[in-house]
């Protein structure tokens, strides 16, 4: 949550508004209504959820711009126990869905690496998770999205209705209209527990092969990579694969209440110096070895390890971080992934969090991020121009291999680079032109990437 920084005499309170990476930082007039309505007039609006996107997609397009935060519009409209269909307002969070529905045997069909995201944001970013190779992204489970479009009308869209608007809204970063309500299909689970297998992988080749082989039998797969390893060790790390435990496997386990850990202040930047991060990554790799381990863990530990540490983004210091996530098509194979990792290693810029995952086929949604291939995500501590230059360099590798970057993580990609990554951009622009010709919905990101007026 931003903090109020200024109250003009009788005027609105402006708050600092940033993504989860805490860079860049804008200032806006943040409204958190219990009803998501569009104010009368023509003032530009940026929709925002819980602020977990990293870069600038939920920042106002200009100083003092209106930010419409959905978190208080969080009512459930209905739930059908026979089918798992959940109809809710856009501000409902996955954390709340888990809290309410896991005890009843239901689970979000797709979840990103944090549960502190709203359903509206899951649609707007068309989020993916550890099951993308099998189930696709969040949008595959969405039956209906209700939008308040730029002219003030309420429009329902879905796979079978206003399909163009639907496909532009999934992954459309909130730029097609204000997402007001969503109908999503939850999935049945037998227990809140996860059967987890982990195995050390000695190289990138082994990791990618491990992901490929696991994909056939495991609904959830992911790899953690020591991205500071060099030479033959590039890509070494730990492969994790999981599935929901059965009643029998879960046994009589009871969840332990989580300790309320929180990072109380901004860490000094030397804490993340390359040597320390290398130590951390090595330790993580060594503690595991190449043995196969199998155990039963809580869903929180499997899906949301970082959520256990409140405000962990403060570990990156006052300047924050840039997260970089790209996907490279299957046809490109492992060489470009290795190139990216080597480039990061040489720059000494990467941190302890590097995640690799194989994706299934791309969705029909125009700006949906995943495509069949390999995605890589990592944190880059923000060191200003050097970090931005590194991102542009990585982007060049991605473009050369016909991959793309994830807008929910992006803060610095150039408009021309994004256009070269996204062949469906023209179709998306056409739909947006139809529903919001005046660009009522715009963000700092859309100004940067799509040429919107500030």
Partner 1 sequence: MKVAMVGATRGMGRALARRLAERGDALFLLGRDEPELALSARDLEARGGPSVSHARLDLGEPAGFTAALDAADQALSPFDALVVTGGLFARQDELAADPARLAALLHANFTGTVLLCQQAAERMAARGGGLVCAFGSVAGDRARRSNYLYGASKAGLAVALDGLDLAYRDRGVRVLCVKPGFVRTAMTAGLPVPPLAGEPDAVARRVVAAMDAGRHQIYAPGIWRVVMLVIRALPRAVMRRVQF
Report the alpha-carbon distance of residue 214 to residue 217 in Å, rounded: 6
Q: Does 77 bind partner 1 (CB under 8 A)?
A: yes
Q: Could you give phi then psi for residue 410, rounded to 5 degrees?
A: -100, 140
Q: Does 31 bind partner 1 (CB under 8 A)?
A: yes
How many residues form the binding site for partner 1 (CB under 8 A)? 18
**Interactions with partner 1, residue window 88-127 (CB under 8 A):** 100, 104
Report the alpha-carbon distance of residue 454 to residue 451 in Å, rounded: 9
Displacement of CA 369 from its chain's centroid (Å): 10
Q: Which stretch binds partner 1 (CB under 8 A): 26-34, 219-227, 235-243, 370-378?
A: 26-34
Q: Does 13 bind partner 1 (CB under 8 A)?
A: yes
Cα three-residue angle 129-370-357, rounded to 5 degrees: 50
Q: How far is the CB of 72 from partner 1 (least distance, A)?
A: 6
Q: Does 32 bind partner 1 (CB under 8 A)?
A: yes
Strands (E), 91-160: 106-107, 142-148, 154-157
Task: Tokens for 402, please give them.
Answer: 């016909």
Q: Which stretch binds partner 1 (CB under 8 A): 77-85, 170-178, 349-357, 403-411?
A: 77-85
Q: Does 7 bind partner 1 (CB under 8 A)?
A: yes
Q: Which stretch binds partner 1 (CB under 8 A): 2-10, 50-58, 276-284, 292-300?
A: 2-10
Cα distances (angstroms) measured from residue 93 to each of 37, 71, 98, 310: 19, 8, 9, 16
Q: Does 433 bind partner 1 (CB under 8 A)?
A: no
Q: Assign residue 393 a region (left: φ > 0; alpha: ψ between -120 and 50; beta: otherwise).
A: alpha
Q: Which stretch binds partner 1 (CB under 8 A): 39-47, 70-78, 337-345, 395-403?
A: 70-78
Pairing of strands 237-244, 193-201: antiparallel
Minimum CB distance to partner 1 smaller for 101 or for 224 = 101
> In a 3-state reduction of DSSP, which class is residue 259?
coil
Q: Does 34 bind partner 1 (CB under 8 A)?
A: yes
- Structural contact between residues 198 and 239, judged by C-beta atoms closer than 8 angstroms: yes
Minimum CB distance to partner 1 smaller for 76 or for 421 = 76
Minimum CB distance to partner 1 smaller for 86 or for 225 = 86
- x/- site string to partner 1, residues 332 to 371, per CB under 8 A? ----------------------------------------
> In a 3-state reduction of DSSP, which class is residue 260?
coil
Contact residues for partner 1 (CB under 8 A)? Answer: 3-4, 7, 12-13, 31-34, 72, 75-79, 86, 100, 104
């Amino acid at each position: 949550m931003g903090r109020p920084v200024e109250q003009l005499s009788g005027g609105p309170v402006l708050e600092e508004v940033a993504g989860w990476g805490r860079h860049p930082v804008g200032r806006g007039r943040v409204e958190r209504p219990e009803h998501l309505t569009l104010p009368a007039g023509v003032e530009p609006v940026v929709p925002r959820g819980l602020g977990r996107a990293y870069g600038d997609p939920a920042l106002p397009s200009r100083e003092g711009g209106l930010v419409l935060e959905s978190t208080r519009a969080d009512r459930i409209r209905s739930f059908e126990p026979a089918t798992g269909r959940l109809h809710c307002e856009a501000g409902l969070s996955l954390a709340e869905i888990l809290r309410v529905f896991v005890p009843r045997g239901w689970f979000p069909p797709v979840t990103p690496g944090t549960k502190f995201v709203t359903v509206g944001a899951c649609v707007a970013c068309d989020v993916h998770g550890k099951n993308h190779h099998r189930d696709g992204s969040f949008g595959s489970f969405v039956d209906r999205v209700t939008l308040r479009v730029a002219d003030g009308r309420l429009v329902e869209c879905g796979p079978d209705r206003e399909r163009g608007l639907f496909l532009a809204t999934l992954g459309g970063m909130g730029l097609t209209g204000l997402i007001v309500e969503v109908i999503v299909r939850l999935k049945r689970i037998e227990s809140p527990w996860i059967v987890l297998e982990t195995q050390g992988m000695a190289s990138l080749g082994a990791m990618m092969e491990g992901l490929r082989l696991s994909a056939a039998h495991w609904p959830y797969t992911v790899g953690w990579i020591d991205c500071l390893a060099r030479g033959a060790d590039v890509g070494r790390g730990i492969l994790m694969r999981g599935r929901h435990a059965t009643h029998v496997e879960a046994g009589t386990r009871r969840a332990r209440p989580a300790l309320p850990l929180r990072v109380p202040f901004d860490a000094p930047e030397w804490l993340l110096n390359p040597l320390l991060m290398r130590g951390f990554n090595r330790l993580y790799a060594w503690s595991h070895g190449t043995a196969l381990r199998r155990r039963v863990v809580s869903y929180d530990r499997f899906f949301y390890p970082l959520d256990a540490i409140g405000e962990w983004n403060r570990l990156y210091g006052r300047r924050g971080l840039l997260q970089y996530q790209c996907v490279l098509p299957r046809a490109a194979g492992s060489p470009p992934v290795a190139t990216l990792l080597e480039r990061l290693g040489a720059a000494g810029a990467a941190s302890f969090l590097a995640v690799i995952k194989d994706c299934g086929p791309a969705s029909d949604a125009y700006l949906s991020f995943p495509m069949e291939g390999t995605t890589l995500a990592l944190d880059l501590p923000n060191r200003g121009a050097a970090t931005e230059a590194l991102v542009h360099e990585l982007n060049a590798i991605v473009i050369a291999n016909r991959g793309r970057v994830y807008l929910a993580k992006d803060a610095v990609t150039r408009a021309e680079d994004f256009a070269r990554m996204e062949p469906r951009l023209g179709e998306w622009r056409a739909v947006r032109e139809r529903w919001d010709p005046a660009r009522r919905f715009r963000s700092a990101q859309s100004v940067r990437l799509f040429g919107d007026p500030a």
